[in-house]
Amino acid sequence: MTGFRIETDRLLLREWREADAAAMYEIGRNPHVAEFLGPPPTRAEARALVAGQALNHALFGHCFWPVERRSDGALIGLCGLNPGPEGTPLEGEIEIGWRLAHAAWGRGFAGEAAAASLAWAWDNLACDRIMAMTVPANMRSSRLMERLGMRRVPGGDFDHPALAKGDPLRRHVTYAIARPAQGVGRAASITAISAASRVDSASARAPNASSAG
Amino acid sequence: MIGTPRLTLRPWRAEDKDAFAAIINTPAMMQHFGGVAPREQIDALVDAQVAGQAADGFSMWAVDWRATGELAGIVGLRRAYHPDTPITGELETGWRIAERHWHAGVAREAAAAAMAWGWANTRFPRIVAYTTAGNAPSWGLMLRLGMTRRADLDFHHPRYGPGDPNGTMVVYAVDRPTPD
């Protein structure tokens, strides 16, 4: 095996391939997925998503990675770490995020991928904390953030600058988790998700990614 | 009559039926409506809009392409009329645009104008819309029009059998804007 891989019991987080755009296109064309993420992508937008994340991985050594289900090799979504977007409270921080196909909901896949991403971040990045954002109505997402040990950031609510005034998805809330004290945090964050993860980061590039670029 | 940069929305006339059937009753246009329908069903849709216009002062209007005067589709407002749904009687918007005008923002232009008309000329507290889960272009437009997914209002369309996925409707809604 060469290249970047994070393996968990059931999932593989890997580098992007051009062919992944087709799956991301289909994932976005589900009304449950779109409820808090906005309109379904065009094929061009799905390709741009893949290219953008691949570029982030090349630049920073991490991105929102494609999530493959190991049992059948299906791409079921994305999860990972990006520089926080400019103009948001996450700017200059590391953001964790996820998006799963509706058919893959309810099985703990997002938690399993996110716990592995967090563990990878503590091992490979110099950041003091990891942040996340979602819209207030997205309870599935905010509940997962809390199960991961993240807590709502007081005063961290904001209007996302990429969304127009009046867009019902414009308002966002912010969550954060501090780097755990040495020796306790990683085990705690993973058992909280009840999905033991084996993180293979030996071949991953691990730059200091505290720059938002 | 409602004018937009490229379109005119106007009440239906009986003589629109041939042109309407020609643009609406194609396999692609009817993909999410159970397939090509008997002509009587298409004509009845026009008749229902004429009746709605007379009763309510609004309907799913005829949309004319201003540059040519040709019929381009049907977009507008009606009272959601299927009985026993969570949105029965509410102000509903919807659209069907002729294939030759797809992917050009025509539905969005017409629907935004229809919704603005609805806020200005009715007292309904919100506007709803629905389509099948598989019709991503349509519910994508609902999101772009500022509507929010309302799973609590979803229903099964009475025109389709209980197990028919074409009948599983996803509902979106937007509240009347508050002046700011």
Tokens for B63, please give them: 């949309």
pLDDT band at B34 (very low <50, low <70, confident <90, very high): confident
Record: contact B146-A167, CB cut-off 8 A:
yes
Q: Give the residue from A191, A204, A28 showing the smallest Cα distance to A112.
A: A191
Stretch A73-88: mean pLDDT, rounded?
97
CA A203 to chain centre: 20
Please, which contacts does B53-56 make with residues 24 or more away whose CB atoms are closer than 8 Å?
A: B53/B11, B53/B12
Record: contact A31-B149, CB cut-off 8 A:
yes
pLDDT given at position B164: 86
pLDDT band at A194 (very low <50, low <70, confident <90, very high): very low
Using a CB-CB cut-off of 8 Å, the residues of chain A touching B137 are 40
Least confident of A59-73, A179-193, B127-141, B146-160: A179-193
Backbone angles phi, psi at A112, to 5 degrees: -65, -45
Record: contact B146-A30, CB cut-off 8 A:
no
Q: How far apart are CA B163 and CA B41, in angstroms?
A: 23
Stretch B28-54: mean pLDDT, rounded?
93
Which residues have a Cβ under 8 Å from the Cβ of B125 and sit 6 or more positions away? B175, B176
Question: A176: which strand partners?
Answer: A131, A151
Beta strand A158-159 with B60-65 is: unpaired
Q: How far apart are CA B7 and CA B66, in angstroms?
A: 5
The answer to whether the CB of A11 falls within 8 A of the CB of A68 is yes
| pTM for this prediction | 0.83
Q: How far apart are CA B79 and CA B77, in angstroms?
A: 7
- Chain B residue whose CA is closest to A26: B136
